[in-house]
Amino acid sequence: MTTNDVIDRVIDFGQELPAYGEAAYEWISGNVWLLFLVPAVFIAFALVISVARRRFGLGPLKGRQAFEVLPTTGFDPVLEDVLRFAKHLAQAQRSVSRWAFTPVRGTAVRVRLLSQNGLLTMRVEGPARAAEVLRHQGYRQCEMRAVGAAMADAERPEIRLGVGLDTDTQTALAA
């Protein structure tokens, strides 16, 4: 094949472009319904997947396990202990099998710092399937105590924005 042959083929193809355009226009005008059907099917498929992910995520969110970290009086962790604890938390999330329909929020490990009567406590919460991993991690000088589901629900944090504050405090916060 010579260069002239290639150029001749390109010219022939260019001369047939209007015929290709007419054929495409005729097909599109005859199948307009298909242009509306394809996006509708895609949207319906996306909706079904979204609902399925939400439904499959309800189970792991309902069955969460919480453990409270109770330090001893001589508790003074070094940086290596803190990094080891963080690594164990990351492994706890990975220990729960995640597949296409299990959302990340259902398998996430949550760390809460709570203050009750002036005492600061740390609570580690995760899926029930990762309870064994959560139970056996922690600092060397700390005890991991399981928290009951009723107690965990009763201690949900509440955020109040400006409720119950006197007018001077509200004015200072607004400024």
Contact of 106 with 59, CB cutoff 8 Å: yes
Query: What residues contact residue 143 under an 8 Å CB cut-off, 6+ apart?
Result: 69, 70, 72
Structural domains in the chain plus CATH codes: 3-57 (no CATH), 64-154 (3.30.70)
In whole angstroms, give the CA distance from residue 149 to residue 42: 41
In whole angstroms, give the CA distance from residue 45 to residue 143: 48
- pTM value is 0.52
Tens of pLDDT, residue by residue, the chain (175 residues)? 789 989 989 998 889 899 999 999 998 888 888 888 889 999 999 999 888 878 877 777 777 888 888 777 777 888 888 888 888 777 776 666 556 556 666 777 888 888 777 777 788 888 777 777 777 766 777 777 888 755 555 555 555 555 555 555 555 555 5
Residue 134: CB atoms within 10 A of its CB come to: 25
Contact of 137 with 89, CB cutoff 8 Å: yes
